[in-house]
Amino acid sequence: MDFDRSSTKPGTTAAYANILSRGSTEDLQTLYARCKQLPEVRRAVELALPLVDPEVAPGMASLWQDTLRRLG
């Protein structure tokens, strides 16, 4: 999973926003699996949602909000 194409710091808010905006299907599947297993990743993704570019990934933030809410 390419956390952030412009940084070497995986797991940052910007890295998760990048995955949500521009990640491949495989990236999103991996991120979902990590969210299911790790509450700290789930929280970091929640913090990244406002940074998702709606022009690049329309509806992605609301989709993930619903998904994370279902995960608990």
Give alpha helix (H) positions in the chain.
Answer: 13-22, 25-37, 39-48, 60-71
Reported as type and span, the H/E element at residue 11 is none
21-30: average pLDDT: 91
The mean pLDDT value for 23-45 works out to: 94
* DSSP helix/strand/coil, 41: helix
pLDDT of residue 72: 83
pLDDT tens-digit series, residues 37-63: 999 999 999 999 999 988 888 999 999
Please check the confidence at residue 8 and state whether its pLDDT lies above 80: no
Is 21 in contact with 53 (CB distance < 8 Å)?
Answer: yes
pTM summary value = 0.83
Which SS3 state, helix, strand or coil, does residue 3 take?
coil
Per-domain boundaries in the chain: 13-71
Cα–Cα distance measured from residue 16 to residue 28, given in angstroms and rounded to the nearest whole number: 10
